[in-house]
Amino acid sequence: MEITQSSILEVNLKNDSESIIIDSDDQIEKIVKALSSRTRRQILHNIQDEPMDVSNIASILDMTEANISAQIKKLEEAGLVICSYSSGDHGVRKISNLKFNKLIIKF
29-52 confidence digits (pLDDT tens):
898 899 999 999 999 999 988 999
CATH number at 76 reads 1.10.10.10
Q: What is the pLDDT of residue 1?
A: 39
How far apart, in whole angstroms, are the C-alpha atoms of residue 18 and residue 44? 16
Q: What is the pLDDT of residue 5?
A: 47
Type of residue found at 57: I
Q: Mean per-residue pLDDT for 14-41?
A: 81
Query: Which domain covers residue 52, as residue numbers?
Result: 8-106
Which of the four pLDDT bands, split at 50, 70 and 90, describes residue 3?
very low
Q: What is the pLDDT of residue 47?
A: 93
**Number of compact structural domains in the chain:** 1
Q: What is the pLDDT of residue 4?
A: 46
Q: Mean per-residue pLDDT for 99-105?
A: 78
Q: What is the pLDDT of residue 7?
A: 62
Q: Global pTM?
A: 0.79
Q: Interhelix angle for 65-77 vs 54-61, to 10°?
A: 110
Q: Residue 3 domain-assigned?
A: no
Reported as a single tens digit per residue, the pLDDT across 55-92 is 999 999 999 999 999 999 999 999 899 999 988 777 78
E-only strand ranges, the chain: 8-12, 19-22, 52-53, 81-88, 91-98, 102-106
